[in-house]
Amino acid sequence: MKILFCNKYFFLNGGVEKYMYDVMNFLSGRGHTTIPFSVRYAGTWPSPYEKYFLPPPGDPRQALWANIRLSPSNILRFLDRSTYSFEARIKLSRLLKAVGGADIAYILNIYNYMSPSIIHTLRHRRIPVVMQIGDYNLLCPSYSFLRDSRPCTLCLKGRYYHGIQHRCVKNNLAASAVRVAAMYLQRLIGIYDLVDAFVVPCEFMRTKLIEGGFSDKQLYLLPYPVEPRQRKRRSDGDRDGEGRRKGEKRSERIHVLQYPIESSTPQDPSWHKKDYIVYFGRLSYEKGVDTLIRAFQKLNPPIDLYLIGRSYDGEEERLKGLIEPHVKDRIHFLGFQSGQTLMQWIAEALFSVVPSRWYDNAPISTYESFMNGTPVLASRIGGIPEQVEEGVTGFLFEPDSCDDLAEKIGLMLSDRERLIRMGILGKAFVKEKLNIKDQMDGLMSLFETVVANYKGR
């Protein structure tokens, strides 16, 4: 099968790109043809199709909104991509002509940098469309259902004007107005009604989509995949002078699907846990890392806290400003990490923390922790309680509660043997239930069903 993958980044920016990369590699290994369509940045992965990619809205070296210079031309291009881009349609048409079309398109994250207008091009060429939903962009102007530090669903039923009233996009009236106008326009022309199937990562998100107007006739559940990878333990010689290291069927159009997860596998008896806990993921306000820092310094345990991830909108500097003197030598920011380096940080941690304050759908970090034998302490919000079995693979705490999080950190640290048991159970769970082969079988079954139904019209 010839499969077109559409995503605004074709480099490792986050979980969506890792998922896309792993799925493309796996399906290519099975003999399928995978074709990317994306935006061309300086760090874009090499591809024979790169010349057909869209130019970025701003500087090719700057992919993040906060770093883009908003010149008049860049603003106009953002307006075009955020609403309805004919440029995107033309670029995709040229790619499809060059490759002789596609059997199906798999759309991931195209918001603001690519444009949903490409769905019209795909329908014009009679290419069925499956769309993966990783956040709440179709329902919420700010994508996160978060306002004033608390969950907010004022726009859930299509009343997007609340996004202007509360300046939900970057706390900026103009940006909020453009985003809301785009949402109303896209609903008016019914662009997303042309999607044949939606893929979502958890039951919580499925429920929110239904509440937002999606029919439950659109729903499927598929198992969650992981992909364990062997590696060797790195020696302490890699440390610097400070000691730091460099499902069930529910209906017909929306599918609950999770991501292939990379993991480490211990190779020798010297593999062991070390005296630290870890957060890994993007450093952005909705992720609740500030709650973790406050809880850590409130409890003041005799261990270290490592924070791993790329900072957005100056979040790292804000977080550093919260750190009190008595813990400043035990809270470490490591920046963006990936691959085997990241996996070792996860594997050697006593446990990882997922302190989200937004309706986090199903963070990949939870399953990456389990696959590396590391239990998880996570907030009880969104799809996270579907991932963590309380007292078995980890514990849950009330979101945004510094006191509850501090108490649960103390609870987990009070029994090291229980942590080991939890890690073993978490790893056994993902190995048994989240098999990438079965997941890709399910995804291909979905593609084949969508293609067959489309041809039967």
Nearest-CA neighbor of 204 among 72, 331, 362, 52? 362
Which CATH number is associated with domain 265-433? 3.40.50.2000
For the chain, the farthest-separated pair of C-alpha atoms sits apart, in whole angstroms, at: 68
What would the pLDDT profile of 81-93 be if each residue is shown by its tens digit? 889 999 999 999 9
- Based on its alpha-carbon atoms, the radius of gyration of the chain, rounded to whole angstroms, reads 22
Threshold 0.95, pTM exceeds: no
Q: Which uninterrupted H or E stretch holds 18?
A: helix 15-29
- 12-71 pLDDT, tens digit each: 887 788 888 889 999 999 999 999 999 999 889 999 999 999 998 765 555 555 555 556
Closest by Cα among 277, 453, 298, 457 to 378 = 277
For residue 433, is pLDDT > 90? Answer: no
Query: Residue 14: what residue type?
Result: G
The β-bridge relationship of strands 262-263 and 227-228 is parallel
| pLDDT category of residue 337 using cuts at 50, 70 and 90 | very high
Contacts of 414 (CB under 8 A, 6+ apart): none
Residue-level pLDDT at 244: 36
Q: Per DSSP, what are the bridge partners of residue 304?
A: 276
For residue 230, is pLDDT > 60? no
Confidence of residue 203 (pLDDT cuts 50, 70, 90): very high
pLDDT recorded at residue 46? 92
> Of 52-66, 219-233, 235-249, 315-329, which one has max mean pLDDT?
315-329
pLDDT tens digits for 403-422? 999 999 999 999 999 999 99
Q: Which pLDDT score is estimated for 67? A: 52
Give CA–CA dist 103/129, Å, rounded: 9
Distance from C-alpha of 91 to C-alpha of 267, rounded to nearest angstrom? 48
pLDDT (tens digit per residue) in 76-135: 777 888 899 999 999 999 999 999 999 999 999 999 889 999 999 999 999 999 999 989
In DSSP terms, 150 is beta-bridged to 147
Between the alpha carbon of residue 443 and those of residues 59, 221, 325, the distances in Å are: 35, 11, 50
